[in-house]
Structure 1
Amino acid sequence: MNKIVRLLLAALVSVCGVTVAAAPPASAALASGYVLTSSAATLPAELSALSTGKRVQYLSTSISGSAVTATGLVLTPKTGKKNKVVAWAHGTTGLAYQCAPSTNQDVFWPEARAAVAALLHRGFTVAATDYPGLGTGGQHPYLIGNSEARAIIDSVKAARNLDPALSTQYVIDGHSQGGQGALFASQIATAYDGNLVLKGTASIAPLSNADYLAPYIPGTPVQGYLVMALYGLNAVDPGVQPLTVLAAPAKAKIGVLSTGCLNEILTAFQNLTASELVVNGVLPDQVLTKLAQYDNPAQTAPTAPILVVQGTADEAVPYDITAGLLIPQLQAYSQPVQFEVIDGATHDSSVTLSADPVADWVAARFA
């Protein structure tokens, strides 16, 4: 690591109580999951009663293979065996630096807290990534599945670098954006996770078949998600230029992407008509092709059993997309796929209502 960077990080020890990892040999390449810094984390009350937390800054890998920095939490339960790790992958929080759940409890959503609490109650250590670009500099590759997947897996590596006594076995649990990322992580695990052993993936209301869903979003109250998705594509593919896709009324509102988080973004765009959101009210075919390429899970085989949970009243990820398209796509491969439907559950309540059953499923994977 650059000597000046090491000195700057070291200065944080006395100022902020941050622990800086020991420098590796000058000739050694830093591996993904390497912990750059760790510090005591302030947790939501319902989680601080169950665990102690560290906020970590660790290395991950971009989809082009370059090193990137990610942040997240490592939560150690106060009771239980503590040696099994579950990676929690959060739902959409926004695009900007300040939208990292590890430092902004306003976007550590209540349903996410319930899911994590259920895992802690069972004695699992939880590694919860923020994904690149949230809590760090640079663009957040929103909904870029293979970026999320690497950050998720590398959060487990980071947890084990903090505590080598943790098992190499791990399970992934994710919601919405995180549910999509969890499915991508299952696809790359064998090739990417080194000596780790993925035992299963729980995916709650995951985004899928984005190219099928996206044309129906302009003009709806959730179209802020689509604006974020355009900028997520741009983060990895400069050929996608959001300002050429968005109509003038939408372009006038894009400042909220850097100043706000999810709720502010949804509010800013919710009342635009389709033609006020995108030019001529229709997404270009090029964008749909890129969404399919970067955002759709189930393009390659998963490497461990899968649980998918979906509410029938989901307003963000329609039930029919999951049940009619994603589940058959996953079932085309050899890994077992369990599909649990929660009648009347919304995008968020599906997490809360399934928190204990999902945690039980996770425990069964370790057993």
Structure 2
Amino acid sequence: MRVTRLTLSSTFLAAALLSSLLAACGGGNGDALTPQSKTFTADGGVSSFYQWNGSIPTTPGVLLQQEALPAAQVLPNAAQGIRILYSSTDGDDGKTAIYVSGDLQLPKGTPPAGGWPVIAWAHGTVGVADICAPSWTVRDPRDVDYLNAWLAQGYAVVSSDYQGLGTPGLHPYLHSRAEAYSVLDGIRAAIKNFPQLSSSVVIVGQSQGAQGAIATAGYGPSYAPELKLLGTVATGVPYQLQSVLAYLNALTAQVPTTGFTSVLGTLESYAWLGYATAERVIPNFLLSDHLTAKGKAFYSVVASQCLGPIEDYINQNKLVTSDVFSADVTDWATQVLQYSNYPTVKFAGPVFVGTGTLDTDIPTVVQYLFAKDACAAGSTIEQHYYAGQTHDSTVLVSLADSKPFVQKLFAGQPIASNCAALTPPP
């Protein structure tokens, strides 16, 4: 039997209820982490630009160095592309000074009075290997089209690679505070050092980047109160990720009937990238102690490849959790997934939420639950469903609604919430 969207939604509703119980068990972005030896690494393969040998400023958002992007990485609608390296704060322990890479794309033409308005782009899942950093490699064609659309509106685009992507140390994949601090400090570094930029910023993200964008909106008022963050655009919003454990178990249980599906393979790739970060946050944890022979082979791919080859490897080998991990992962994986939590769902600025009705990467029901909870908390939410659109295709289709949303934000016009009309996914 084919896994239908109804089956996915029903499974996720049950899993989401479980996640609220798991979240109540504590965890999250703890401030006391125990230094430890870490054997899993995905470092290397990038240029010396990504290695800072000087002292790291304790002030976050300081531009350390910049260089021109290779021509192939300058977006077609950009007049100039600049790779940047800047100081930030480790999002897991909340205090250690680190450095993060990213890039800035400037639109063509003459900046308006006050400078180019800024889109802070939070990218989706690319992997955890340094070579996957968007400032190092050529972007996915969909993202090129999407960012070109914002550049064509006369907005500069500043993008963070996120902590540990490109730069040393394992990328804390789906750790919300790490994503937020990286994005916020990239904004700081860009605005302080490029006078052609305005101080007005709208945060935009998709998938992992939707989580990063939402987290940035949540942490912004406390971590970077000086920034003028006007609002947020997010498509394919992750939420209550602790429920991924129950969800994956339910899908895996269907394999004898349905066969191995690409839906399962995609979700496993997301989950297992996240599980790799356990060494960052659990004292004395070594990932290799929990892997089978197949698991060790899989994580060697994770350490050196980006998302496409990782998903291909899972699907070609039809891997399920018991193939990769030597024992039940629930206890330690739950601890890791606590780091995905948002600090709040009450946001200072309006939030645009775009959901494709055929999204199975982040099932529609969980995106609805995010909008529902944010509305209940008093946030201004403009939510849209896109009929027949997937996790991927929603990004470009949603521009029809997100462009006017962003135009209103930069123009200082009010956003009308549609929380009163919010309905579960069709």
TM-score tier by shorter-chain length is 0.7 to 0.9
- Match of 1:111? 142
- Match of 2:376? 332
Q: How many angstroms does 1:300 deviate by? A: 5.0
Where 1:259 maps in the other structure, the secondary structure is: coil
- Match of 1:303? 348
1:310–1:341 CA contact under 8 A, matched in 2: yes
- Match of 2:21? none
Q: How many angstroms does 1:279 deviate by? A: 4.0
The 3 A distance-change label for structure 1 pair 239 and 300 is farther
- Match of 1:77? 107
Where 2:80 maps in the other structure, the secondary structure is: strand
Report how many aligned residue pairs link the two structures: 341
In structure 2, distance between residues paired with 1:237 and 1:50: 42
Where 2:298 maps in the other structure, the secondary structure is: coil
1:266 has 2:311 as partner: yes
Corresponding letter in the other structure for 1:288: T
Where 1:168 maps in the other structure, the secondary structure is: strand
2:89–2:98 CA contact under 8 A, matched in 1: yes
1:56 has 2:84 as partner: yes
Q: How many angstroms does 1:232 deviate by? A: 2.8
Q: How many angstroms does 1:236 deviate by? A: 3.5
Corresponding letter in the other structure for 1:305: P
When the two structures are superposed, what TM-score results if normalisation uses the length of structure 2? 0.74
- Match of 1:6? none
Corresponding letter in the other structure for 1:296: N
> CA offsets, 1:275-332, max 9 Å, x none?
213345x5414422441x2113364532211111111111311111111x21122112
- Match of 1:319? 364
In structure 1, distance between residues paired with 2:299 and 2:239: 25
- The more displaced of 112-121 and 211-220 is 211-220
Corresponding letter in the other structure for 1:145: S
Where 1:335 maps in the other structure, the secondary structure is: coil
Q: Any gaps of 5 or more consecutive residues in structure 2?
A: 1-46, 253-263, 412-426
> CA offsets, 1:72-120, max 9 Å, x none?
1111101353521110000000101100111110xx1222212211110
2:85–2:100 CA contact under 8 A, matched in 1: yes
The 3 A distance-change label for structure 1 pair 329 and 240 is farther
1:87 has 2:120 as partner: yes
In structure 2, distance between residues paired with 1:60 and 1:124: 24
Corresponding letter in the other structure for 1:352: L
Q: How many angstroms does 1:337 deviate by? A: 0.9
The 3 A distance-change label for structure 1 pair 216 and 87 is same
Where 1:208 maps in the other structure, the secondary structure is: coil
1:169 has 2:195 as partner: no
When the two structures are superposed, what TM-score results if normalisation uses the length of structure 1? 0.85
1:67 pairs, out of 81, 91, 97, with 97
1:197 has 2:225 as partner: no
1:361 has 2:391 as partner: no
1:287 has 2:333 as partner: yes
In structure 1, distance between residues paired with 2:371 and 2:356: 14
2:275–2:336 CA contact under 8 A, matched in 1: no
- Match of 1:13? none
In structure 2, distance between residues paired with 1:243 and 1:226: 17
Q: How many angstroms does 1:359 deviate by? A: 2.7
In structure 1, distance between residues paired with 2:71 and 2:124: 18
- Match of 2:8? none
Q: How many angstroms does 1:165 deviate by? A: 4.7
Corresponding letter in the other structure for 2:386: I
Q: Which has the higher contact order (CA 8 A, sep 6+)?
A: 2
Where 1:93 maps in the other structure, the secondary structure is: coil
Q: How many angstroms does 1:261 deviate by? A: 0.6
In structure 1, distance between residues paired with 2:224 and 2:265: 38
In structure 2, distance between residues paired with 1:31 and 1:224: 35
1:98 has 2:131 as partner: yes
Corresponding letter in the other structure for 1:302: F
In structure 2, distance between residues paired with 1:181 and 1:95: 15
1:215 has 2:215 as partner: no
In structure 1, distance between residues paired with 2:287 and 2:372: 32
1:230–1:240 CA contact under 8 A, matched in 2: no
Where 1:254 maps in the other structure, the secondary structure is: helix
The 3 A distance-change label for structure 1 pair 46 and 98 is closer
Where 2:395 maps in the other structure, the secondary structure is: helix
The 3 A distance-change label for structure 1 pair 243 and 330 is farther
- Match of 1:351? 395
How do 1:119-198 and structure 2 match up within 5 A? 119-198=150-229
Q: How many angstroms does 1:174 deviate by? A: 0.3
1:94–1:260 CA contact under 8 A, matched in 2: yes
Where 2:197 maps in the other structure, the secondary structure is: coil
The 3 A distance-change label for structure 1 pair 241 and 44 is same
In structure 2, distance between residues paired with 1:200 and 1:149: 14
- The more displaced of 44-53 and 308-317 is 44-53
Q: How many angstroms does 1:241 deviate by? A: 4.5
Corresponding letter in the other structure for 2:88: S
